[in-house]
Amino acid sequence: MRNRHGLSVAAVVLAGGLAWLTGTRAVAPAGVADANAGSGTATLSGVVEAPKPFKAAKVYIMNVDKNVLFMVYTSGGRYRAANLFPGRYEVTVRKQDLGAETRTIVLTAGAKETLNFSLREQAPQPIRQGEFGLSSRSSGDVKLVSYDELYPREPGRELLEKTCMYCHGRNFFPSKQYHETQWNSFVDLMLNAQSERGAMIPAGTLSQKDRETIVAYLVKHFGPGSPPRGLKADTEFPVDEEALGKAMYVEYYLPLDSKLDASNKQRRTQEPHFDQDGNVWYTDRSIPNRVGRLDPRTGHINDYVLPDPKADPHGLTVDANGHVFWAETVGFHLGRLDPKTGAMTRYPMDSTGQNKGRGHTPVVDSKDNVWFTVIVGDMIGKWDRQTGKATVWKVPTQGAAPYGITLDKNENVWFAEFRRCKVATFDPRTETFTEYPAVTQPCTIRRLGVDSTGTVWYGGFNSGKLGKLDPKTGKIVEYNIPMPFSEPYDVWPDRDDHIWISDGGQGGALIRFDPRTEKFTYYPTPQITDQPKLAITRDGAVWYTPRSSSRAAVGVLYPDAGKIKTLAAYY
C-alpha cells in the first residue's frame, strides 16, 4: 500500500504510455540562466501526420539539459509551444494506437524552429506495469482486466463495494491472495474500535450474514492461487481539441541527490504552494523528508532536509513573512522554516500534550495563525501566532479522518471528513462544528475548496462525483464526472470560479468544470499519476505535484499558454 492514508492504489495501475520518460538517464540538476516568459526563450511548432485521423496527440518537448518537460497537444494535426528554455531537446509525439516518434533538436534563445512528425499505425502493445515506472511500488506483471471480469456480478460484489471498496479502491483486493482465515482477521481489524485509527467499518453497519457473503466472495475471487490482477481503464479521455490546442503543461523534474537519494529510485512530491516571490514550495515524502522551493523562471531547485527526516510531511503552506509551515504525519508536529536563515522549528500540535495523532494539511489565516487537520485522531487544530502554542478540537464524527482544509472569507474553517463522507465547518468564534453529509453515501472525500461566492466544492473520491454545497441553505448538488472510475482528489476554484479537479482515476487528468455551462474539459497529464493538491495562480496557471508518477516533479498546466505573462507563480 503506497499511501498510508488514502489507499488510492487504484490510481497507479493504469493503462497508457510514457515509456520514454521512465528511462534511467542521469538526472542533471535544473538551474542556469534566468528565463522570463517570452524573452530569452524559444518557440517550436510543427505538423504531425498520421495514416488515420487523430485528435490531441501529446507532444512531449523534453529539455534534457534542464530536466524540464514542456507538453502541448496537437490541434488539427499541428502543435506550437512557446516559452521554451534554451537547450537540447528530445521531442516525442505520442498517440494511443499510433505509437510515438522521437526527434532531437537544439533550441537557442529567441529561436523559432519547426519540427514535423509522421506517426505510423501500430498494433496495441501489451501493457506491462514496469513500463510506467511503477516497479518500485509494485512487483511483477499484473494482468489488467475489465471491472466485470475482476469483480464478477454476484451478491458479494455490491456488498464489497459499499462496505470496503469505497475506501480501498478497485485495485486493492485483486492484489491480495488471502485465505479465509486471513480475510476474516482483516475484517475483524476493520471492525476494531480499539485500533490506532479506530473502526473503519462503523459499528452496526455490517450484519453477520453480509460479512459472511463478503468473505466468501473475497476467498472465491481473491483467494490463494488467484492471479494478481488490476483494473483496466483504457477508455480515451473525451478531448476538446480547441481547448487543448491552447494548453501547455510544464514539469520540472526533481534531481536525485547522489548522497541523499542513494537508496531512492524516485522522490515523492505531495503539495505545492506559492510564496510572495513567485516561487513554488512543495513537500517531498521520500526519505530523508524534505521541503523544497522551485523557481519556475529558472528551474532552480533548493531542498531543505527536515529536522526529523522520517516525519512524513504532508501538506505545506507559506505565511505572510515567507515562512514555510508543514504538517507532519508522524510525531504530531507542525514544522516551520525561515528560508532566509534556513532555521527550522517544530511545534507540538497540541501544546497540552494530552492528545496524540497524525497531522495532515495546514492553512494560514489573516493573522498568520496556522490551522491544520489531524487525520488520525479526528481533530482540527490551531497554532497561535501570538503564543506559539497549538490547540486541538475533536471533530463530532468518530473515524472522520479530517483531510483537506481551507478557510472561507469570514475565516470559518472548512475541511473534508475523508472516511465518513462529510463536509464540515468550524466557526472559530463560537468553537462549534457543523457537518454536511454528501449525497452519495458511503464515500471518501479528500479535499474541498471554497469559491468567491462562498460555495463549497468537494470531490467524491470513490464515487466520481463533484459536489457543490451552499452553506446558506445547506443544500448539496452532486454532478457526475463524465469518465468511469473517476477519482477526484483536489477540487479547487480559480479566480473566475471555474472549478479545477485533479483526477488520477483514469491515469491522470486535470479537469476544468464550468459551473455556468456545467461542462467538463479534460487536460490529460503528461505522466500517469495522481495529483493530491492543486494551487492556482492569479493568472489561472494550475500547479500540481504528480505523486505516483514515474518521475517526481513539480508541474503546472497553463490552460491558455498564449496568455502567459510570467513563469513565476503568485496567488
Contacts with ligand HEC by CB under 6 A lie at 1, 7, 163-164, 167-168, 186-187, 190, 196-197, 200-201, 214, 419
Q: Are 144 and 150 within 8 A, CB to CB?
A: no
Sole residue written with cell 528551474: 299
**Chain position carrying cell 519547426:** 114
- Min dist CB 184 to ligand HEC, Å, is 9
**Residue 196 or residue 338: which is nearer to ligand HEC going by CB?**
196
Instruction: Report the candidate in 397, 349, 356 with the shortest Cα–Cα distance to residue 372.
Output: 349
Q: How far is the CB of 154 from ligand HEC (least distance, A)?
A: 16
Three cell numbers, residue 375: 487525520
Residue 4's identity, in one-letter code, is R
Distance of closest approach, residue 216 Cβ to ligand HEC, in angstroms: 12
Closest listed residue to residue 243, CA positions, set 510, 463, 554, 464: 510
CB of 164 to ligand HEC, least distance (A): 3
Gyration radius (Cα) of the chain, Å:
23
Minimum separation from the CB atom of position 214 to ligand HEC (A): 5
Tell me the β-bridge partners of 456.
Answer: 450, 469
- Read off the amino acid at residue 131: E
Residue 452: CB atoms within 10 A of its CB come to 11
| Distance in angstroms (rounded) separating the CA atoms of residues 266 and 254 | 9
**Least Å from the CB of residue 60 to ligand HEC:** 35
**547: which DSSP letter?**
-
271 with 361: CB under 8 angstroms? Answer: yes
Least spacing, CB of residue 443 vs ligand HEC, in Å: 10
Is residue 3 classed as helix, strand or coil in its secondary structure? coil
- Dihedral in degrees, nearest 10, Cα atoms 14, 19, 24, 30: -90
Nearest approach, Cβ of 196 to ligand HEC (angstroms)? Answer: 6
Q: How far is the CB of 97 from ligand HEC (least distance, A)?
A: 37
- Please tell me the distance from the alpha carbon of residue 415 to that of residue 427, in angstroms, as a whole number: 12
CB 7, min distance to ligand HEC, A: 6
Please, are residues 59 and 48 in contact by the beta-carbon 8 Å criterion?
yes
Residue 216, helix vs strand vs coil:
helix
Choice between 335 and 459, CB closer to ligand HEC: 459
C-alpha cell at 62: 523534453
Q: Considering the complex, what minimum distance in angstroms separates the CB of residue 209 from ligand HEC? A: 13
What single string gives the DSSP state of each residue in 317-386?
EE-TTS-EEEEESSSSEEEEEETTTTEEEEEESSTTS----EEEEEEE-TT--EEEEEEETTEEEEE-TT
Please give the Cα distance from 49 to 57 (Å, whole number).
Answer: 11
- In three state form, how does the secondary structure of 75-125 look? ECCEEEEEEECCEEEEEEEEECCCEEEEEEEEECCCCEEECCEECCCCCCC
Q: Are strands 313-318 and 324-328 parallel, antiparallel or unpaired?
A: antiparallel
In the complex, the smallest distance separating the C-beta of residue 538 from ligand HEC, rounded to whole angstroms, is: 37
